[in-house]
Amino acid sequence: MTTAFEAGKTYWTRSICDHDTIFQITVERRTAKTIVTTEGKRLRISLYQGVEQVAPHGRYSMCAIIGADRFLEEEAPRDTWAEANAAQAARQEVQDATATAQAPEASNVIDFAAYRARRVA
């Protein structure tokens, strides 16, 4: 049995060069040998191990290949690295705010009125 592209579904793959880059296509319509994306791009279908595949940016070394077995059911794949960095940045802001509120006065700040009072006395 062949896993085939279906009209109206969104398919995705990750870049082989950068794990954070995700390529997506949404199939508008299809024929037996091609699909047309919502962007109007016509892509030729190839078959590999019973799964239809397309190369949305052309065929070349390390090109992105989107298979019909990787479609979005509910939501796009999460970018966990960006989420972790955002959480770390939020924690750092909280730490900076509490450190600023609790920071003692700098030791190199001189109160001249107190200094003069000590010298006179």
pLDDT in tens, 9-60: 999 999 998 888 999 999 999 999 999 999 999 999 999 999 999 999 999 9
Helix (H, G, I), strand (E, B) or coil at 7: coil
Strands 51-54 and 66-67: antiparallel
Between the CA atoms of 96, 99, 100 and 101, what dihedral angle is there, to the nearest 10 degrees?
Answer: 120
Q: How confident is the model at residue 107 (pLDDT cuts 50, 70, 90)?
A: low
Return the top range by mean pLDDT from 26-30, 72-76, 79-83, 91-95. Answer: 26-30
Which pTM value belongs to this model? Answer: 0.60
d(CA 35, CA 53): 10
